[in-house]
Chains A and B, each alone.
Chain A
Amino acid sequence: MTQETAQNRKSLSIIVSKGALDWAYPPFILATTAAAMDMDATLFFTFYGLGLLKKKLDLEISPLGNPAMKMPIAGMHLGMPNLVAALPGVTAGATAMMKNMIEKKGVATIEELRDIALESGVKLVACQMTMDLFEFKKEDMIEGVSFGGAATYLEEAVKADVNLFI
C-alpha cells in the first residue's frame, strides 16, 4: 500500500462496553466488515466488554430485564416474565436456544468473527484499568491484544470517520 492510500483510508472506532452474547455481535460484525471494506478498525474493550477478549469465551444471554427479547417459538414470538426469567437454569436455556438459532440461520459465532478480526488487522485494545479492576491477567487474554487507556482510545477516535459506543 502506498503512503497516500494509507492516509486516505477511512477508519472506524468502537468502545465495546458489553459482553453478553447478543451485545458482542455489533462490534465484531462492524469491525470485520470495515476491514473487508479497506477501512482501519479499532475496538476498545472496557468494563463488561473486556471479557470478549478472554481465551475461552462463555457468552450468555438472559431474558431477565430484557422485554424486547421475544424468541420465535412455534410460529409466534414469545417473551418471558421477569419472575420466570430469574429462575435458575433459564439463562442457560435461553443461551442454548440462541446458539442453536445462530447455527441454524448461518450466523457467524463470536469466536469466528473474532478470529477474522485478528486476521484482517482489526486493532483490539483492552482497557488496562478494567484489567486491574476485574483482576484479569494478560495471559487470560488472546494473543494479538494490545493494552491501553482513555488516551490510547481517543488518539484513534479523534481521527476516525465513524465512532460508536456499544
Chain B
Amino acid sequence: MTDKTVDARGLNCPLPILRTKKALQEVPIGGMLEVLASDPGSMSDFEAFARQTGDELVSAEKLDAHYRYVIRRLR
C-alpha cells in the first residue's frame, strides 16, 4: 500500500523527478510513494535519484505502456 501516487505519464525529463521530489516531501518519513512514468530514461534516473537522496527505491517495473516505481521516504 502506498501513501500517495504521482502520475508523471506524458512528462519528459526532468519533470518526473521534480514531481516525485515534491510529492515525497508530502509523504511521512517511512511512507511510500508510487510514481507512474512514461519517460524511457526514467529507470536510470530513478535509480540515480534514490542513490543520491538516500531514499529507498523499493521497486522499479516496466509495465506494458509505462513504468511504475515505488519509493520509500527515508529522510
A interface residues (Cβ-Cβ under 8 A, vs B): 10, 29, 32-33, 35-39, 105-108, 116, 120
Contacts and interface: CB of A to CB of B under 8 A. Distances in A.
Interface of B: 10-15, 17-18, 20-21, 49, 52-54
A106 B52 contact: no
B70 to A, nearest CB: 18
Given A37-B53, A38-B52, A106 B18 contact: no
Interface of B is mostly: helix
A106 B49 contact: no
Give the one of B12, B21, B53 with max A CB within 10 A.
B21
Nearest to B11: A106
A29 B52 contact: no
B17 A106 contact: no
Contacts of B54: 38
Given A29-B13, A32-B18, A36-B17, 10 more contacts: A10-B52, A33-B18, A36-B20, A36-B49, A37-B49, A37-B52, A106-B15, A107-B15, A108-B11, A108-B12
A108 B14 contact: yes
Contacts of B10: 106
Nearest to A116: B18
Select the residue from B11, B14, B52 with max chain A CB neighbours within 10 A. B14
